[in-house]
Amino acid sequence: MKFGNKFDRYIAVIFFVTIVTVILASYLTLKDVINTHNKQVQSAITPLFSLVTSEILRPLGVANFMANNQFIIDYASQQAIEKDYIVTYLRKISDSYNMMAFIALEKHNVMLDSNGKESTLQSEDTEWFHRLKNLSGNQFSDIGNAQNPHLYFDNRIFNQQGEFIGFTGVGIDLNYFASKFQEYNDRFGFELFFVDENGVITLSSSNIMKSESLHRKGLITRLSDLPWHRSLIKNNQADASLSAEVMYTTEDGLLISQMPIQELNWRMFIVSPPAAHQNEYWKIFIGRFLLFLFIAIIFYLILLNSINYLKSRLIKHSETDFLTQLPNRSHIHWRFDDLAKANKNLCVVLADIDNFKHINDTYGHLVGDDVLRIISEQLSKTLRKIDVVGRWGGEEFVMLLPETTANQAHTIVERIRENIACISFPISTTSGSFSTTISFGICQLPLQDKTIEDYIEGADKALYEAKSSGKNQSVIFN
């Protein structure tokens, strides 16, 4: 009962530690995943702002430079121009800045670009010229060329007298633009939206919007048309213009970030999907999960070994005689079945201490216990490792000798009997000592279809004969 309570405490402690460890590890793993992911998202937004600024403002600066290039202004004001010369100039700009460059001159009724394409200002390809000319302002951004969509930055050109003479600028291939941000889309699922002062989407990283153009009225998409914008307004998280430079979160878990592009009077919005929809999140999660799984497996193996250890301790305590520390009758039954499966022959020996009642009556039970312990040690150290010895009950012992004949067993137990007869057993209450003897009953049977009870019955009969014949001897059952 004492060991049972102790084992119950062990299991309770292991169970409690397991539950606490799993909960704590799960919490720390999930918290670490979320924190790591949020840090990566935040760290990705800053370089993304810089990249966008570079990809948008760099071509804007190039367009401004071309419009104010005095050489171009003076050359375009001449009565006649050499088109190849201008194309060469445009190609140098294109090669230097990796973008398409163009110029459209009203006086010469021509549009030239760095690809060598030439159009008149009355052609369908240059409808934008007259449309932009009639608008106020000196700088424009537009999306054109539906077959190969580009973002164009158009700047008016003025001569020395301040008279309008045409447009010049650059165009960014939207496929190139999209490829620049593909990594952010793949890792975090970011979508970019550029909105002008009228709330119109001028540019987006979404493939659906690449071919949209401001002058195609039927294809215009406004900020208010976007579901995430409607969600924010619906939940009163922001004003309708989203003018404040802050971050918002929609009810669907979208994270909305924005920044102004003052040079164009645009605003850029970065829409991040919920963490569970982002590849980067799953990479982090899977990495942390595998680490957690590894730790869990290690902990499981430790736990399994601990339980097996406790189980072995339990078995040892439950199948071990407390006084002699030999296997008890329950263990002997189990070992017999185990030996019966692995061997063909077995010899069972019953041993009984002679006159043990007289020892207890004469010297006391404590001395009797000492006798049992000393004889147990003698039996244990004399037998082979494959043999089994245990306490059968009272002053009786049992030995299981696999692959041993009765004659071989007789030789073994005779040596044991003689050794025990020579032992001087101390009397703990005095300085004296005494001797005692032991008798053996040996039974050998073929293992097939035999039980331990069959062996014990034969050995008991042989032991009875040894006792009846004067004790201190070994008898083989026939």
> For the chain, first and last CA: distance in Å?
43
Q: Is the predicted pLDDT of residue 81 greater than 70, yes or no?
A: yes
CATH number of the structural domain spanning residue 82: 3.30.450.20
DSSP reduced 3-state for 405:
coil
pLDDT at 236: 55
Last residue of some domain: 143, 176, 209?
A: 176
Q: Does any domain span residue 280?
A: no
Q: Is the predicted pLDDT of residue 332 greater than 70, yes or no?
A: yes
List residues bridging with 441 in a β-sheet.
350, 475
Query: Residue 133: left if φ>0, alpha if ψ -120 to 50, beta else—which one?
Result: alpha
Burial of 422 (0-12, 13-18, 19+ CB in 10 A): exposed
For residues 291 and 447, the model is more confident at: 447
pLDDT at 213: 44
For residues 172 and 186, the model is more confident at: 172
pLDDT at 2: 44
pLDDT over 90, % of the chain? 34
Q: Which range has the worst mean pLDDT, 56-65, 193-202, 214-223, 314-323?
A: 214-223
pLDDT at 29: 63
Q: Does any domain span residue 54?
A: no
Q: Does any domain span residue 400?
A: yes
Mean of the per-residue pLDDT values for the chain?
80
Rounded Cα gap, residues 44 and 23, in angstroms: 31
For residues 297 and 3, the model is more confident at: 297
Judge whether 398 and 390 are in contact, CB under 8 Å: yes
- Buried b / exposed e along 436-469 (16+ C-beta atoms within 10 A): bebbbbbbbbebeeeebeebbebbbbbbbbbbee
Last residue of some domain: 156, 176, 196?
A: 176
DSSP at 384: -
Q: State mean pLDDT over 304-325.
A: 75
Rounded Cα gap, residues 152 and 24, in angstroms: 55
Q: Does any domain span residue 329?
A: yes
pLDDT at 290: 74
Burial of 271 (0-12, 13-18, 19+ CB in 10 A): buried
Q: Does any domain span residue 293?
A: no
pLDDT tens digits for 106-140? 999 999 999 999 999 998 888 889 988 998 888 88
Q: Is the predicted pLDDT of residue 86 greater than 70, yes or no?
A: yes
DSSP reduced 3-state for 116:
coil
Q: Is the predicted pLDDT of residue 300 greater than 90, yes or no?
A: no
Q: Is the predicted pLDDT of residue 219 greater than 90, yes or no?
A: no
Q: Does any domain span residue 43?
A: no
Q: Does any domain span residue 189?
A: no
pLDDT tens digits for 4-34? 455 556 666 766 677 666 666 665 666 665 6
The model's pTM is 0.45
* Domain total of the chain: 2
CATH number of the structural domain spanning residue 414: 3.30.70.270
Q: State mean pLDDT over 435-460.
A: 92
Q: State mean pLDDT over 199-217.
A: 56
Q: Is the predicted pLDDT of residue 182 greater than 90, yes or no?
A: no
Q: Does any domain span residue 83?
A: yes
For residues 278 and 398, the model is more confident at: 398
Q: Which range has the worst mean pLDDT, 28-42, 281-295, 367-381?
A: 28-42
For residues 120 and 207, the model is more confident at: 120
Last residue of some domain: 176, 197, 228?
A: 176
> What range does the domain containing 350 cover?
320-476
In 3D space, the residue among 50, 48, 51, 61 whose CA is nearest the CA of residue 264 turns out to be 61
